[in-house]
Amino acid sequence: MKIRLPSGPLLALLGIALWSCGIAAALAAHTLPGGILRWIGIAILLGLALLRPSLLRWTVLAMLAGVELGIDAPRAALQTHLLAELFLRLIRMIVAPLLFATITTGIAGHTQLRSVGRVALKAFVFFEVVTTLGLIIGALAMNVAGVGWGVALPAAAAAPAAQTIQTWQQILLNLVPENIAQAVAQNQILQVAIFSLLFGSALALLPQTRRVPLLSVLQSLADTMFQLVRMVMYLAPLAAGGALAYTVGSMGIGSLLSLGKLVLTGYIALAVFCLVVLLPILLFYRIPVRRFVAAVAEPAAIGFATTTSEAALPLAMERMEEFGVPGWIVSFVIPLGYSFNLVGSSVYLSLAAVFTAQAAGIPLSVGRQISMLASKGVAGVPRAVLVVLLATASAIHLPAAPLLLLLGVDALMDMGRTALNVVGNCAASAVIAGSESALTKAQPIMTGL
């Protein structure tokens, strides 16, 4: 008699459920039972990853194993940050030439000059609408939850350093690279994208006899860079596990969850945004949701674990091209979204601002919350939501002291908002391609290692 094993998704859910129960047991001071449950869960996921290997399964397994290492051996976990840093350096090495090659060949190879302006306008409209909705959902979530009321403020400690927020004129000026070599060296993604857009447009205007030789070289460069992406992605699970091991080992699982209600509210707000905003938009433009989820799962998981959208950029571009979005749209919209479409950061920004007011015992009127929403243009400051929040708090006359409460859970919140930033940028490329009637079925999503 043959024994039928549960399906892959059921095994994955069982493993994650056992691991989660082990975490809960550890927080309740049941150390030994918690450890046993977590290791059983990890063993189930390891068996599933061995039987049905995929980048997503190995990444999730490494993330859970990284948390376990941070709990059981925090000193050893502190040494694993090297894996994440190495992975990020490899990704940064790839991003600039990949963007240059794909944008240039996409525009010059298909002479999409008339479409560029239209796509740019659609992209900015999409970014403006979804980030505003993100701010509204974040504010509503915290107003409903009210978890900031009655929270004890921390003792005096070093607050995040205040920084000068750029004006819109400075932001516009910084879009254009003063020196393309410097932009590449500093990994200024948007400046590289702007240069590539101009270069591709100029190349498209040349006679075909002069355009084809350089276009062939650039296409070979693009193919080579995508092949390099596939090679580097073998390190993604190790980087994800190392990043989480370092976070848990340095801060401790208890301190990370000390403001559990705030974290839970934040993740509920992110989930509501996906269901109430992104899902209807995808359905309206007839984007196949299941295939889209399969395409963005791996880039989102990498962004979640490494807490940086940059780490997921090359894989997100590759997956969206496999999904059927034309390469030139992917190469233009996704990098642009890294400065203007930080939907996850928008949700967190408004949520954290209302939490700060509640913790300080200051009720925010509708007018003051609208003033807070008007500050969303500063959300493009990379990895500096707390700095942006300081400026927002100053604008609506909130004290800075409650912001110290957010420092303990910023790592956890950063994971969720980064993953949503990745998903939001992928959604933007798919929606714009759908509005252009340019979305194709393309090739199957490649999920195996």
pLDDT, tens digit, 9 for 90 and up, residues 186-196: 777 778 888 88
Angle between helix 385-395 and helix 343-359 axes, rounded to 10 deg: 50
- Number of neighbouring beta carbons within 10 Å of residue 350: 27
Residue 120 has pLDDT above 60, yes or no: yes
- Per the model's pLDDT, the better-predicted residue between 277 and 398 turns out to be 277
CB 132 within 8 A of CB 263: no
Mean pLDDT of 410-438: 86
Which ranges of 233-323 would DSSP assign to H, the alpha helix?
Answer: 236-251, 253-256, 260-273, 279-284, 289-306, 309-323
Residue 309: the pLDDT is 77
Whether 119 shows a pLDDT value over 50: the answer reads: yes
pLDDT beyond 60 at 156: no
pLDDT of residue 371: 58
Question: In the prediction, which pLDDT does 204 show?
Answer: 84
pTM of the model: 0.74
Cβ distance 242 to 84 under 8 Å? yes
Per-residue confidence band for 60, with pLDDT thresholds at 50, 70 and 90: confident
| 130 three-state secondary structure | helix
336 near 429, Cβ under 8 Å?
Answer: no
Average pLDDT, the chain: 79
Quick one: 221 exposed, middle or buried, by C-beta within 10 A (0-12, 13-18, 19+)?
middle
Mean pLDDT highest for which of 283-297, 302-316, 333-347? 283-297
pLDDT of residue 160: 46
Considering only residues 48 and 269, tell me which one the structure prediction assigns the higher pLDDT: 269
Instruction: Give pLDDT, residue 158.
Output: 42
Residue 229: predicted pLDDT: 83
Q: What is the pLDDT of residues 236-260, one digit of tens each?
A: 888 888 888 887 887 676 655 556 7
Q: What is the pLDDT of residues 314-365, one digit of tens each?
A: 889 889 999 989 888 888 888 878 767 678 888 888 888 888 778 777 776 6
CB 244 within 8 A of CB 61: no
Of residues 8 and 17, the one with the higher pLDDT is 17
Cβ–Cβ under 8 Å, residues 99 and 225: no
> Taking 60 as the threshold, does the pLDDT of residue 265 lie above it?
yes
**Minimum mean pLDDT range among 50-59, 74-83, 391-400:** 391-400
**pLDDT greater than 90 at residue 283:** yes
Residue 29: its H or E element: none
User: pLDDT-based confidence at 377, cuts 50/70/90?
Assistant: very low
The region, left, alpha or beta by phi > 0 then psi within -120 to 50, assigned to residue 151 is beta
Give the residue-averaged pLDDT of 21-35.
82
Q: So what's the pLDDT on residue 275?
A: 94
pLDDT at site 7: 62
| Amino acid at residue number 183 | A
Read off the pLDDT band of 381 (50, 70, 90): very low
Residue 383, pLDDT above cutoff 50: no
- The pLDDT value given to residue 161: 47
pLDDT at 449 over 50: no
